[in-house]
Structure 1
Amino acid sequence: MQPDRRSVLAGFATLGAAAFAPARAQQGWPSQVIRVVVPFTPGGSTDVLARLIAHKLEQVIPGKGFVIENRPGAGGMTAAGQVAKADPDGHTLMMGHIGTLAFAPSLYPNVPYDPVKDFQPIALVAMVPNILAINPKLPARTLGEFIAYAKANPGKLNYSSGGQGSAAHIATAYLAYRAGIDAVHVPYRGTAPSVNDLVAGNVQFTLTGGPAVLPLAEGGQLRVLGVASRERVGFAPELPTLAEEGLPGFEAVQWYGVVAPAKTPRAIVDRLNREINASLSQPDFAAALARDGAIARPETPDGFGQLIASELTLWRDVITRAGIKAAE
């Protein structure tokens, strides 16, 4: 049976509507203020990066502007769970972090979201390599000497972090596991007090972001032994990687990136990705990141999604093998 002319035209109309739906979604967007949710308190790295990105996007995306919403709670899971359930209309974004998107599912029971299924990756923003810092009273000036000393004193060294289940906790536990060190974790309420006690000698080492330890190392209050990245970093080129110092393949890097609720229209995702990547290439933005020990990392939405999936697998294995717990 031959279709009549009306049916053919209706079919073309349906196909046309489907083809142009993403375009219409982008043309009508944004129709309201875009919220950038930060799952932590103001002032931290996640908050700083979110504000830098929002400021740049406001300059190139006309509309009603961007607003930062800080929603701390449950290690970032409260906010992430809320964003996962938000309308996927491009008006709700979140500055994601390795903690909420890669660590949490392996650390906590009943996480209220799936990092892969419930979010649409938009853009990777920055990597923050962790740096191994020790109290200078320890008789070690290289990673090899530090590991030898720790092995000769099992259970006698303490390491600090900004909290139980924090990025520094997991990174340092991973280091201890890979190096075969028996050390005791001492959690603090934030990075600053954890580093202050390292300077005071109440703990002996930590693996955390550069901005917290490099200025103190320059002043002789701490000693830094290496950076936990694949390659040496531009803000401290003299610092060797831990991999080249004796832990082949070792990498423990914090990362940050923008995500949205799953099913956010692809046209909106691609527009945001283009604008964020363009911002990352600007010298003033790169300089602002460098001041926080961060490295700009432009990436496609799909590439960022692959990173999240691979990091989930990596850190699930690390957390399980090292016996890391969210609460003790």
Structure 2
Amino acid sequence: MNRRNFLQAGALCACSAFDAAVRAESYPSRPVQIVVPFPPGGTNDLLARMVAQSLGEQTGGSFVVDNRAGGAAGSVGAQAVAVARADGYTLLLGNTASLAINQSVYPNLRYDPQRDFEPISVIGSSSLVLVVNSKVPARNVAELVQLLRTSPDKYSYASAGAGSPLHLAGKLFKYRTGTEMLHVPYRGTAPAYTDLLSGRISVMFDNTTTAVQHTRAGTIRALAVTGAQRSALFPEVPTLAEAGFKDTEILVWFGLVAPRSTDATITGRLSKAVASSVKDPETRRRLLEFDIELWGSTPEDMRRFMASESAKWKAVVQRSNIRLE
């Protein structure tokens, strides 16, 4: 390359960098879509709408929730964002499944969370709760573990579907405690609860917000929560670590990501806006009803967290030999 061409190339690079900086500085200049890969009404949808409102207030822009349900555990919406333009105008509000589990469970998945997304922020997380039918003769986790070790063929656990976080939570629990239970997958939590309440199924890991109504009715018993701290909905129920079982922390978490190569100025600005929004007392009060602990992480912290979560669940999936189409 001669000197003239070198200088021209340098000028083009400088102009491109300048244009990118200008676009980032004026962002957002048009509506931003936050894709939720699930139907309206769920926790993902609720969080997305709260985040959209807060980001709009802080940036002066317009953020619109776009529900794109379909595919395996939200894969349609996640895939759409993975191939979208990296201009900051299409974002994904994903969760544990779409950002840390699916790539290990579904070998034909058409996106890789760590390769195809730029992290923005982990918005928050919630524990699961380990529950048993009220007739199961176990008042704590130690007694349940003893039952499972004594009669490994007698007890089974339900989940909302094969490859779901609830399924893998049961697998991780079995591996950490050296126990056996038959897994029975259902198409959603409603039919799973039908059999849990009737006693056809003995054990289940579930979201705290769903389980609490049944524990209050006395039809099921909560033995432990899976987070590092006790749940606001189950303050009297110990964590698995408090019950004596280490390395069993299981979180359902929610995060905001952008397509790969989105300008760091944009992701950084959005991350700071999320961090500011989660400090709002009214936001925290509203999400406490859903037992969600707000985080507001940096992009770098989210990248590390996603890698750690992906590695943890990949090990469980491989050990369990789970492969779904």
Regarding TM over 0.5, the answer is yes
The counterpart of 1:288, out of the listed 283, 286, 289, is 286
Say which SS state the counterpart of residue 76 (structure 1) adopts: helix
- Number of equivalenced pairs: 322
1:125–1:257: 8 Å Cα contact kept in structure 2? yes
Letter in 1 for 2:125: M
* Aligned counterpart, 1:99: 97
Residues 111-142 of structure 1 deviation map (CA, whole Å, 9 limit, x = unaligned):
10111110000110111111101111011101
CA RMSD, 1 decimal: 2.2
Q: Which moved more, 1:222-231 or 1:18-27?
A: 18-27
Provide closer, same or farther for how the CA distance between residues 286 and 107 of structure 1 changes in structure 2, counting only shifts above 3 A: same
Deviation at 1:258, TM superposition (A): 0.4
Letter in 1 for 2:82: A
Say which SS state the counterpart of residue 192 (structure 2) adopts: helix
Q: Which moved more, 1:138-147 or 1:180-189?
A: 180-189
Deviation at 1:177, TM superposition (A): 2.3
The 2-side partners of 1:187 and 1:260 are apart by: 32
Residues 187-240 of structure 1 deviation map (CA, whole Å, 9 limit, x = unaligned):
122123323331222211111211011222122121101111123234433221
* Aligned counterpart, 1:205: 203
Q: Does 1:182 align with 2:180?
A: yes
* Aligned counterpart, 1:304: 302
1:38–1:72: 8 Å Cα contact kept in structure 2? no
Letter in 1 for 2:89: H
Letter in 2 for 1:68: D
The 1-side partners of 2:321 and 2:154 are apart by: 19
The counterpart of 1:90, out of the listed 88, 91, 99, is 88
* Aligned counterpart, 1:157: 155
The 1-side partners of 2:22 and 2:300 are apart by: 22
Say which SS state the counterpart of residue 271 (structure 2) adopts: helix
The counterpart of 1:40, out of the listed 33, 38, 41, is 38
Structure 1 gap ranges (5+): none
Provide closer, same or farther for how the CA distance between residues 322 and 179 of structure 1 changes in structure 2, counting only shifts above 3 A: farther
The 1-side partners of 2:11 and 2:29 are apart by: 26
Residues 34-56 of structure 1 deviation map (CA, whole Å, 9 limit, x = unaligned):
11111112222222211221122
Q: Which moved more, 1:71-80 or 1:101-110?
A: 71-80
1:111-150 to 2 correspondences below 5 Å: 111-150=109-148
TM-score normalized with structure 1 length: 0.91
Say which SS state the counterpart of residue 169 (structure 1) adopts: helix
The 1-side partners of 2:162 and 2:319 are apart by: 17
Deviation at 1:21, TM superposition (A): 4.2
Say which SS state the counterpart of residue 156 (structure 2) adopts: strand
Deviation at 1:14, TM superposition (A): 6.3
Q: Which moved more, 1:138-147 or 1:181-190?
A: 181-190
The 2-side partners of 1:64 and 1:56 are apart by: 10
Structure 2 gap ranges (5+): none
TM-score normalized with structure 2 length: 0.92
1:68-83 to 2 correspondences below 5 Å: 68-83=66-81
Q: Which moved more, 1:246-255 or 1:61-70?
A: 61-70
Residues 245-275 of structure 1 deviation map (CA, whole Å, 9 limit, x = unaligned):
1211211111110011011111111111111
Letter in 2 for 1:116: Q
Q: Does 1:195 align with 2:197?
A: no
The 1-side partners of 2:63 and 2:107 are apart by: 37
1:22–1:266: 8 Å Cα contact kept in structure 2? no
